[in-house]
Amino acid sequence: MRAAWEKGKIERAVGYLRQNFWPLRTFADLTDVNSQVRRWLEQVANQRRHRETGETPAARFQPETLRALPVITPDYRDSTEALVHKDLRLSFDGNRYCVPPRYVGRRLTIKADSSSVTIYDQYQEIVSYARCWQRGQTLGAERFQKELLAQLTAAQRSAEQQRLVSWRGFDGANPVKLAEVPAFAPNGAETKPYSLEEIGAMLKVLTEPSATAVATAAFTGLRLGELSGLTWES
């Protein structure tokens, strides 16, 4: 039975049996009951035409017309749900198991047997651990914390790029044209250039085309007017 509204179909079959088989019959024992009901099924019940299918049960359920059910391996594992906290951990059976950062704040399904603990997002497997029978253990922390750190580093690098380089309408031709010329130092003081370490630090966080523009300006000695006249084909 797949839905509540189908329950009446089951009950009608029971009522049909009670009203058409049981009345006015006598039985010697259980074996006699089974023998009579089998004859009644073969001669009466399975020969009537079904209202919905338009066929008799005897014809409908011939072996050659039936299809085998798919083989479904029963899942006998213990199953529960758990919330993923901000530290990437969820709790199960006295231990904490780590999952990827993208699942923080989500409720995931845990299935466990004597040898493994597997974590699912609905039906999609996320990660599996060997079953730990100790208590107070944290599993998978190093693996997924590295992933989180990599994401944070990438986000910080992107923010640093936006802070250091604002193209303000860059058209893809020559980013040096948008550079602002710093004012001369007052009182004839010497302007201090960037050190190699500072230039290297900038190149590590810049992406193209800004990295090439900075490297060209820093290592070729070209003046601003010369840099402004360059094209990418140069």
88 and 133 housed in the same domain:
yes
Same domain, 58 and 90: no
Phi/psi for 207 (5° steps) reads -110, 170
d(CA 230, CA 173): 9
Q: What is the pLDDT of residues 91-104, one digit of tens each?
A: 999 999 998 888 88
Sheet holding 138-139, edge to edge: 89-92, 95-98, 138-139
For 194-230, write each residue's pLDDT tens digit: 777 777 777 777 777 777 777 777 766 666 666 666 6
Determine, yes or no, domain membership for 192. yes
> Is there a domain that residue 55 lies in?
yes
Helices (H) and strands (E) in the chain, counts: 7, 7
Whether 168 maps to a domain, the answer reads no
The boundaries of the domain holding residue 21 are 7-65
User: Which residues have CB under 8 Å from 138's CB, separation 6+?
Assistant: 89, 95, 96, 97, 98
**pLDDT for 2 beyond 60:** no
Give strand ranges (E) for 8-154. Answer: 78-83, 89-92, 95-98, 107-112, 116-121, 124-130, 138-139
At residue 100, the pLDDT reads: 86
The pTM for the full model equals 0.40
What's the confidence (pLDDT) of residue 228? 67
Kindly report, residue by residue over 7-45, the tens digit of the pLDDT: 666 677 788 888 888 888 899 999 999 999 999 988 988
Structurally, how many domains does the chain consist of?
Answer: 3
Residue 1 has pLDDT above 50, yes or no: no
Asked, for residue 148, whether it belongs to a domain, the answer is no
The mean per-residue pLDDT over the stretch 154-173 comes to 52
